[in-house]
A and B are shown apart, each in its own frame.
Chain A
C-alpha cells in the first residue's frame, strides 16, 4: 500500500505542485528573457516616439509622435545606406550559395581525404569575426598585403597601385570577399546536409532509366536540395542584413559613406550624434525587417522538417 502511495507523495515535493515546480524551473529563463530581450524592445519602441538623447539624460523627454519614422523613411541618406546593405546582402548570398553548393557537391562525392578537406574548408567559419577582420586588414595592405600580391601575380598590375579598403569602387567588394570567405563553409554544411538526405535509390532508378548526370542533377539533386539551399539563403540574408562587426573593423563605413550599411548608420546616429530617439526608430524599422524575414525562415525550416 505504501508503495502504491509513493508516486502521489513525490508529486508534491515539500508542498509544491508539479505546475509550481515547472514554473520554478522556467522562471529564471523567463526573467532573463524579459530583462534582456523584451524590456529593451519595449523601451526602444517608447524611445522611438520621444526626443530622448542618451548623452543628456537630465533633459526633459518630450513626445514627438512618428517624426523620427517619417524622417528616416524620407531620408535619401538612410535610403543610400539601405542600398549599400542590399548590394552587400545580394552579392554575398549569391557568391556564398554558388560556391557553397559547389563545394558541398564535391565533398558529397566522398573522394580520398574528403574528411580532411571538409575540416580545412570549415576553419574560416570557426574564427572570430574580430580576428578575421584584423587579419584581412593586413592581407589587404597595398604594400605588404598578400591579397594585392596575388592579384598582381595573376594580372600583372602593380600591387601598390590599388587599395582594396581605401578605394570607393573596391571597398564594398573587399567586404563581400571577406564575408564570402568566412561564411561559405556554413552554406556548404547546410547544402551538404541536403545532398546527404537524398536517398540513393532515386539515383539508382535514374541510372536504370539511363538519365545522364546532367539530367540527374537538374531533376533530382537540385529540386531535393532546394529547401536546404533556401534555408541557407534566408539565414545568411538575415545575418548579413544586420552585419556590423566585419564592416566596422574593415572600413568603418568608409571611404566616405561607400560601405555605410544600415547597422553602421545606426551606430553613428546612436553613439556619435547621440540621436537616441531617431536611432531607436531606425532600430525598430530594422527589427521589423529582420522579424519578418525570420518568420519566413521559420516557415522554410518547418517545410524542411516535414520532408
Chain B
C-alpha cells in the first residue's frame, strides 16, 4: 500500500494515467448504467474530472 502511495507521490506518468483512465471508464459506465439516476447525474462530472486529469498527468515524466 505504501509502495503504491510512493509511486503516486513521485508524480510519474504511469500510475497517474492509470488512475485517470479508471476515472474516465467509471464516468462512462455511470453515464450508461440502468440502475441509478443519481449515478447518471454525477457521470458528467466524473468523466470531466477524469479527462482533465488525463490531459494534465500525460505531461508528467515517464
A103 to B57 Cα, complex, angstroms:
38
Per-position binary interface string of chain B over residues 46-57, scored 1 when its CB falls under 8 Å from any chain A CB and 0 otherwise:
011011001100
Q: Once the chains bind, are B51 and A79 in contact (CB under 8 Å)?
A: no
Q: Once the chains bind, are A292 and B40 in contact (CB under 8 Å)?
A: no
Min CB distance, B16 to chain A, in Å?
12
Does A76 interact with chain B (Cβ within 8 Å)? yes
Chain A interface mostly helix, strand, loop or mixed?
A: helix
Per-position binary interface string of chain B over residues 30-62, scored 1 when its CB falls under 8 Å from any chain A CB and 0 otherwise:
011110010011111001101100110010000
Q: Which of A86, A288, A292 contacts B32 (CB 8 A)?
A: A86
Given A73-B44, A292-B27, A292-B47, decide whether A79 and B37 contact each other with a Cβ distance below 8 A. Answer: yes
Chain B interface mostly helix, strand, loop or mixed?
A: helix
A288 to B50 Cα, complex, angstroms:
10
Q: Once the chains bind, are B24 and A292 in contact (CB under 8 Å)?
A: yes
Closest A residue to B51 using CB positions: A292
| B47 neighbours in A (Cβ, 8 Å) | 288-289, 292
Given A82-B31, A292-B27, A292-B51, decide whether A74 and B21 contact each other with a Cβ distance below 8 A. Answer: no
| A285 neighbours in B (Cβ, 8 Å) | 31, 44
A73 to B44 Cα, complex, angstroms:
8
Q: Once the chains bind, are B41 and A74 in contact (CB under 8 Å)?
A: yes
How many chain A residues touch B (Cβ–Cβ < 8 Å)? 19
Given A86-B34, A288-B48, decide whether A293 and B41 contact each other with a Cβ distance below 8 A. Answer: no
Does A296 interact with chain B (Cβ within 8 Å)? yes
Does A83 interact with chain B (Cβ within 8 Å)? yes
* B binding-site residues for A, Cβ under 8 Å: 17, 20-21, 24-25, 27-28, 31-34, 37, 40-44, 47-48, 50-51, 54-55, 58
Knowing that A73-B43, A288-B44 are A-B contacts, what are 9 other residue pairs whose CB atoms are under 8 Å apart, sorted by A's residue number?
A: A73-B41, A73-B44, A74-B37, A82-B31, A83-B32, A288-B51, A289-B28, A292-B54, A296-B24
